[in-house]
Chains A and B, each alone.
Chain A
Amino acid sequence: MSVRRVTGTETEYGVLAPGMPAANATVLSSQIVNAYAASRRSGAGNFGGTRWDYTDEAPLNDARGFAVPRTAADPTQLTDVPPVLDAEQIALEGGGPAALYGEQTTDNPVLMNMVLANGARLYVDHAHPEYSSPEVTTPRDAVLWDKAGDAVVLAAVRYIAAAPGFSPVNLYKNNTDSKGASYGSHENYLVPRSVPFTDLVRGLVPFFVSRQVIVGSGRVGIGTSNQRQGYQLSQRADFFEAEVGLETTIRRPIVNTRDEPHAVAEKYRRLHVIIGDANLSEVSTLLKVGTTSIVLSMIEAGSAPLVELRDPVGALQAISHDPTLQRLVELKDGRKVSGLDLQEIYLEAAARHCRSTGTDPDTEDVLTRWTSLVGTLKRDPMEAAASVDWVAKLKLLQAYRTRDSLAWSDARLHLVDLQYSDIRPEKGLYYRLAARGHMERIVTDAEIARAVNEPPDDTRAYFRGNCVSRFPEQVVGASWDSIIFELPSRRRLQRIPTREPLKGTRALTGELFEASVDAEDFVTRLLSGPEHSVAP
Chain B
Amino acid sequence: MAAQDRRNTEGRTGEEEVEETPLPEAGPEAGASAQTEGVDDLLDEIDGVLENNAEEFVRGFIQKGGQ
B and A form one assembly = yes
Given contacts A229-B18, A399-B42, contact A177 B63 (CB under 8 A): yes
Which of these, B21, B59, B60, B65, contacts A181 with CB under 8 Å?
B65
Nearest B-chain residue to A426, judged by Cβ: B49
Nearest B-chain residue to A404, judged by Cβ: B43
Which of chain A's residues have a CB closer than 8 A to the CB of B22? 230
Which of chain A's residues have a CB closer than 8 A to the CB of B57? 18, 415, 418
CB–CB A76/B43 < 8 A = no
CB–CB A179/B15 < 8 A = yes
Given contacts A180-B9, A411-B55, A426-B49, contact A126 B23 (CB under 8 A): no
- Closest beta carbon of chain B to A318's beta carbon, Å: 13
CA distance A433 to B4 in the complex (A): 35
Task: Encode contact with A along B1-29: 1 for CB under 8 Å, 0 otherwise.
Answer: 11111111100100110111111111111
Which of chain A's residues have a CB closer than 8 A to the CB of B66? 12, 125-128, 181-184, 249
CA distance A407 to B18 in the complex (A): 12
CB–CB B21/A225 < 8 A = no
Q: Which of A217-245 contact B (CB under 8 A)?
A: 222, 224-231, 239
CB–CB B46/A432 < 8 A = yes
Given contacts A12-B66, A74-B4, A128-B66, contact A324 B24 (CB under 8 A): yes
Which of chain B's residues have a CB closer than 8 A to the CB of A361? none
B37 at the interface (CB under 8 A from A): no
Which of chain B's residues have a CB closer than 8 A to the CB of A227? 15, 18
Given contacts A18-B57, A179-B15, A229-B19, contact A398 B6 (CB under 8 A): no
Which of these, B8, B50, B54, contacts A179 with CB under 8 Å?
B8
Which of these, A26, A126, A230, contacts B67 with CB under 8 Å?
A126
CA distance A323 to B42 in the complex (A): 23
Total CB contacts across the A-B interface at under 8 A: 182
- Closest beta carbon of chain B to A321's beta carbon, Å: 9
CB–CB B1/A394 < 8 A = no
Interface size on A, residues (CB 8 A): 69
Given contacts A182-B66, A249-B65, contact A76 B49 (CB under 8 A): no
CB–CB B5/A407 < 8 A = no
CA distance A128 to B67 in the complex (A): 10
CB–CB A12/B67 < 8 A = yes
Nearest B-chain residue to A436, judged by Cβ: B42
A529 at the interface (CB under 8 A from B): no
CB–CB B6/A415 < 8 A = no
CB–CB B20/A409 < 8 A = yes
Which of these, A127, A229, A414, contacts B54 with CB under 8 Å?
A414
- Closest beta carbon of chain A to B35's beta carbon, Å: 9
Instruction: Tell me if A's interface is mostly helix, strand, loop or mixed.
Output: mixed
- Closest beta carbon of chain A to B54's beta carbon, Å: 4
CB–CB B26/A401 < 8 A = yes
Given contacts A229-B19, A230-B24, contact A181 B67 (CB under 8 A): no
A15 at the interface (CB under 8 A from B): yes
CA distance A183 to B63 in the complex (A): 9
CB–CB A225/B15 < 8 A = yes
CB–CB B61/A228 < 8 A = no
A402 at the interface (CB under 8 A from B): yes
Given contacts A179-B8, A249-B5, contact A429 B49 (CB under 8 A): yes
Which of chain A's residues have a CB closer than 8 A to the CB of B59? 411
Which of chain A's residues have a CB closer than 8 A to the CB of B61? 14, 16, 172, 177, 179, 418
CB–CB B3/A14 < 8 A = no
CB–CB B27/A76 < 8 A = no
CA distance A179 to B31 in the complex (A): 34
CA distance A248 to B50 in the complex (A): 33
CA distance A367 to B39 in the complex (A): 32
CB–CB B63/A75 < 8 A = no
Which of these, B3, B8, B20, B23, contacts A224 with CB under 8 Å?
B8
Which of chain B's residues have a CB closer than 8 A to the CB of A415? 50-51, 54, 57-58
CA distance A230 to B18 in the complex (A): 11
CB–CB A395/B20 < 8 A = no
CA distance A395 to B12 in the complex (A): 28
Task: Encode contact with A along B31-46: 1 for CB under 8 Å, 0 otherwise.
Answer: 0000000011011011
- Closest beta carbon of chain B to A149's beta carbon, Å: 15
CB–CB A416/B21 < 8 A = no
Task: Encode contact with B along A294-338: 1 for CB under 8 Å, 0 otherwise.
Answer: 000000000000000000000000000011100000000000000
Q: Which of B8, B9, B63 has the most CB of A within 10 A?
A: B63
The contact sample of 21 A-B pairs, CB cut-off 8 A, is: A14-B61, A25-B63, A76-B1, A128-B63, A177-B9, A179-B12, A179-B62, A180-B9, A227-B15, A249-B65, A249-B66, A395-B27, A400-B43, A414-B54, A414-B58, A415-B50, A416-B46, A418-B61, A432-B42, A432-B46, A433-B42
On A, residues with C-beta under 8 Å from B are: 12, 14-16, 18, 21, 25-26, 74-76, 125-128, 172, 176-177, 179-184, 186, 222, 224-231, 239, 248-250, 274, 322-324, 380, 382, 394-396, 398-403, 407-409, 411-412, 414-416, 418-419, 426-427, 429, 432-433, 436
